[in-house]
A = this chain, B = another copy of it.
Amino acid sequence: LLSAGEPADSQSKARNTVSLRHALLAVLTAEPMTGYDLIRYFDGTVEFVWHAPHSQIYPELRRMEQAGLVDVQVVPRGERAEKRIYSITDAGMRELRTWLADISPYQQERDLSRLRAAHFEFSTYEAARNQLQAHLDHYSRALRNWERMVEDVEARRVPLMRERMRKRPEAEHEAIAAFRRFAFRGEVAKARAEAAWAEEGLALLDELEKKGVPLWGEPGGAETA
């Protein structure tokens, strides 16, 4: 049996669970910050490549601390409270670099929209249209977001990126901006492809309905066999 997309690389153990860890390390390269700050950056810009809720981030930071990947500075907040400011260590930087060189196997597909679309014959024209319209809406919104982010990167309007640049020599600035822009452009391309796919699907539904092709779910269509 031939399977779809086996990476099948002979070497490279590439044991790549725990990527939340690397996402956190990557953000911490910009500047030391609290878990709370990390969550904000995740929800702001990093979110689009790696989402994580705070219930995952706080415990992971503790584990990273124990593994020596980050240092903590405990700072009093007012009279009674405290906050924990994390910064990346040399070991953390090494871990990040190692991870950047690891080729990891591509994770298996699990695509709800596609799974549904492949079986629209059991549905109704109306329900199928709703699905595709939701798909189109979702990716249209996403597209606008990522396009604005590409512009923000080009105009150097991203605070965390500016901070990162401030700490590095001028010569490296171009690379820092270029790779961020490149990543966002990947999302732009994906969103565009998905939106176009949804539109193709909506056109297909119109065509089939006009031809009078019946679906199982329709009142007029055949019922359960």
A23 to B208, Cβ gap below 8 A? no
Number of A residues near B (Cβ < 8 Å) is 95
A162-180 interface bits toward B, Cβ cutoff 8 Å, 1 = contact, 0 = none:
0000011101101110111
Asked if A67 is an interface residue, CB under 8 A from chain B, the answer is no
Asked if A15 is at the interface (CB within 8 A of a chain B CB), the reply is: no
Inter-chain contact B114/A186, CB cutoff 8 Å: yes
Copies of this protein chain in the complex:
2
- The verdict on A62 contacting chain B, using a C-beta distance below 8 Å, is no
- Chain B CB within 10 Å — which of A1, A128, A179, A180 has the most? A179
Residues in B with CB closer than 8 Å to A204 are 178, 182
Nearest CB of chain B from residue A145's CB, rounded to whole Å: 5
Is there a chain B Cβ closer than 8 Å to A104's Cβ? Answer: yes
CB of A138, distance to nearest CB on chain B (Å): 5
Contact B200 A185 (CB under 8 A): yes
Q: Is A34 part of the contact surface with B, judged by Cβ < 8 Å?
A: no
Query: In whole Å, how far is A51's beta carbon from the nearest beta carbon of chain B?
Result: 3
A60 to chain B, nearest CB (A): 14
A-B contact pairs, 15 of them (CB 8 A): A19-B110, A47-B109, A51-B110, A93-B224, A100-B122, A103-B131, A104-B112, A107-B112, A114-B187, A121-B172, A121-B175, A121-B176, A172-B213, A172-B214, A189-B193
